[in-house]
């Protein structure tokens, strides 16, 4: 199954390693604990990034401002992706965990 574009855009030192392990069938507590830690640690950075996007958008006008707004809201990839990862962590015992991680 092809990964969505936002998954491919992750930095390799982020949560991708743990998500790939889970997708490959690794359901160890260690993998999920590391995913949880990285997920929690990224919240502040993600919030700050979204604030920076808003600030830049508010200073711009025209097509560039529209493009920044689309990045922030049209796809809503950030909230959707974080919600999916949170769901995966909460349901770590699920038999479909590997499928969900893909």
Q: What is the pTM of this model?
A: 0.62
Is the model's pLDDT at 23 over the cut of 60?
Answer: yes
Coil, strand or helix at 74: helix
Q: Where are the domains of the chain?
A: 5-101
Tell me how far apart the alpha carbons of residues 48 and 38 are, in angstroms, rounded to a whole number: 16
Read off the DSSP letter of residue 85. H
List the one residue out of 23, 21, 25 whose CA is nearest residue 34.
21
pLDDT in tens, 44-71: 887 787 788 788 888 888 888 888 777 7
More confident residue, 94 or 37: 37
More confident residue, 57 or 102: 57
pLDDT value of position 6: 47
Residue found by looking up tokens 């808003």 in the block: 54
Residue 29: pLDDT above 50? yes
């Amino acid at each position: 199954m092809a990964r969505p574009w936002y998954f491919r855009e992750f930095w390799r030192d982020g949560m991708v390693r743990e998500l790939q392990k889970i997708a490959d069938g690794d359901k160890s507590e260690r993998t999920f604990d590391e995913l949880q830690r990285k997920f929690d640690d990224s919240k502040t950075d993600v919030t700050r990034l979204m604030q920076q996007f808003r600030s830049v958008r508010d200073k711009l006008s025209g097509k560039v401002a529209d493009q920044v707004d689309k990045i922030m809201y049209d796809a809503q990839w950030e909230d959707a992706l974080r919600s999916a990862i949170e769901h995966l962590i909460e349901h770590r015992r699920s038999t479909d965990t590997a499928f969900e991680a893909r």
